[in-house]
Amino acid sequence: MKMTKSMANILLLITTVLWGSGFVVTKMALDANVSAGLINFVRGFLFVVCVLLFFHKKIVKMTFNDFKVGLIAGLLNFGGFITQTIGVMYTTPSNNAFITAAYVVIVPFIALIFYGKKLQIKSLVSIAVCLMGMIILTGISNEDININIGDVYTLICAFFYAGSIAYLGYSTSTTHYSVVAFMLAVIQAIGGLGFCLLVEKGQLSDVHWSDAIIPLVYMGVFCSFVGQTLQVLAQKHTSATSAGLIMTLESVFGSIFSIAFGFEPFTQKLAVGGMLIMVSIILMEVEFKQLLIKKKKQLKKLPLNQ
């Protein structure tokens, strides 16, 4: 059965739910004294194992072009992670969340510059509504914005994520999604290990493994393997701009899971901000021109008043 854009967007929605749940389990792993680099290494390692287990026949047939496409996608993906991790060390969580979400603005311009995808008015409107939702959701409008090195790193992260989303949307059509997922996993594991050894100096002695093992396995299997494999598969059948908007829901689902597990209270800004982000996605997906044409055809069929 051929995958439609609607089906692809549903898969992306499932991906954002899984990534949103990742905020809670990441918090659990951090509370168990697992460092950011080690978390990424374990996620990447389990990701590699799962991809090989399910798609080894495709992986062994990898061509040089497959390797090149997967390598670029993997480097962009890991570049976003590492710069976001560094950024959050020096800036506020609200700044980090909002500036990272700026990728929703950057994606369509990358698509225009590198892939010739023209900007639509409804895309610009949807992006503006989405940003309004993110401003409310993160509470950034209530803070004094002082640009620091952490904000700069986070902005670089937004460019990496935007590049990753655009690249997956327009450059992986000839490559099987499992091969790209395998390369994402390998680079995630290698990058995480390198960060752990070089920056964090291999902090293992203080880890509470009994508390950390379940969150780490969940992140590796569900957030990384299932989530990123579905992302790569879905982005072959939808636009990069749509993908970027849908994936901003990660922060909404993250807040919902955080509330459900008692990490934070329910707030009005979550309801209003999340609603605006949902509206932005609906605006992006509705084909207003087709609806208008359909309405005109229906009006023509109506009998004239005598």
Q: Is the pLDDT of residue 23 over 80?
A: no
Average pLDDT, the chain: 82
- Report DSSP letters for 202-236, one per residue: ---TT--HHHHHHHHHHIIIIIIIIHHHHHHHHTT
User: 133 is written with which tokens?
Assistant: 């939702």
Other CB atoms within a 10 A radius of the CB of residue 165 amount to: 26
Q: Is the dihedral of CA 273, 278, 279, 281 positive or negative?
A: positive
Cβ–Cβ under 8 Å, residues 213 and 34: no
Q: Is the pLDDT of residue 302 over 60?
A: no
Instruction: Please give the pLDDT value at position 91.
Output: 67
DSSP-derived 3-state class of residue 104? helix
Instruction: Please give the pLDDT value at position 294.
Output: 61
As a whole number of angstroms, the distance between CA 142 and CA 174 comes to 46
User: 126 is written with which tokens?
Assistant: 């949807």
As a whole number of angstroms, the distance between CA 194 and CA 137 comes to 34
Half-sphere exposure (Cβ direction) of 256: Cα atoms closer than 13 Å: 15
Instruction: Please give the pLDDT value at position 41.
Output: 93
Cβ–Cβ under 8 Å, residues 84 and 158: no
User: 167 is written with which tokens?
Assistant: 């690249």
Query: Is 0.95 surpassed by the pTM of this model?
Result: no
pLDDT band at 19 (very low <50, low <70, confident <90, very high): confident
| Residue range 272-281: mean pLDDT, rounded | 81
Task: Give 82: exposed, middle or buried? Use CB within 10 Å, 0-12, 13-18, 19+.
Answer: buried
Write the CA distances from 29 to 43, 209, 218, integer angstroms.
Answer: 12, 9, 11
Q: Is the pLDDT of residue 70 over 60?
A: yes
Q: Is the pLDDT of residue 1 over 90?
A: no
Higher pLDDT, 23 or 56: 56
User: 222 is written with which tokens?
Assistant: 């569900």
For 211-238, how does the pLDDT look when each residue is reduced to its tens digit (9 = 90+)? 999 999 999 999 999 999 999 899 888 8
